[in-house]
Structure formats: structure tokens, C-alpha cells
Amino acid sequence: MGEFFSSVVGARQNLLVEVYRIIASDDWVWAHANFFNLYNDDPNDRGIAGVDIYRFNTDGKMVEHWDVLQEVPDPAKAANTIGMF
């Protein structure tokens, strides 16, 4: 995961990550974020909504990681006004 983000940071001038929530319980951490310009440099990019799930060991090192990603839809075409964030 670190290698992926290192390569993206070098390739994407407009990369921005907005973190909305972080929840921790025991050795688990969940992060809810919007990744702008993760796959492009479009100034109108709406982002990629993501939830990252981490598990840490007793030394505080990450030992597992999962994520779910979804493109943020055009609000004009959304089924409701609640939004993703």
C-alpha cells in the first residue's frame, strides 16, 4: 500500500485526500475518505470515496488492510440528496 501511494504522490500533482471519519476499536481502524485525483489530474474530479480497514498487531504495526472504493457520482444525477460524506 505504501508503494502504491508513493508512486501516486509522485505522478499526481493535484492529489488530495479528505478524511471524514476515523473509527478505532481494539486492533481495528476504519477510515472514511475522499481521494481526489487518485487516477487522473482532472481539476473537476469529484473523487473516489473510500473506506479503508486496518488491523494492527500488538507492536502497532499494520498486519492487514482492506478497502472499498467507489467513484463519487455527479450530484445532479444522484438518486437522493444525502450524498456520500
In this prediction the pTM is 0.81
Using pLDDT thresholds of 50, 70 and 90, give the confidence band for residue 5.
low
Model pLDDT, residue 2 = 61
Using pLDDT thresholds of 50, 70 and 90, give the confidence band for residue 4.
low
The residue to which cell 481494539 is assigned: 26
| Domain residue extents for the chain | 2-76
Residue among 39, 46, 31, 56 nearest 78 (CA): 46
Residue 14 in 3-state DSSP? coil
Model pLDDT, residue 80 = 84
CATH numeric code, 2-76: 3.10.450.50
What's the pLDDT tens digit per position in 27-49? 999 999 999 999 999 999 999 99
Q: How far apart are CA 37 and CA 34, in angstroms?
A: 10
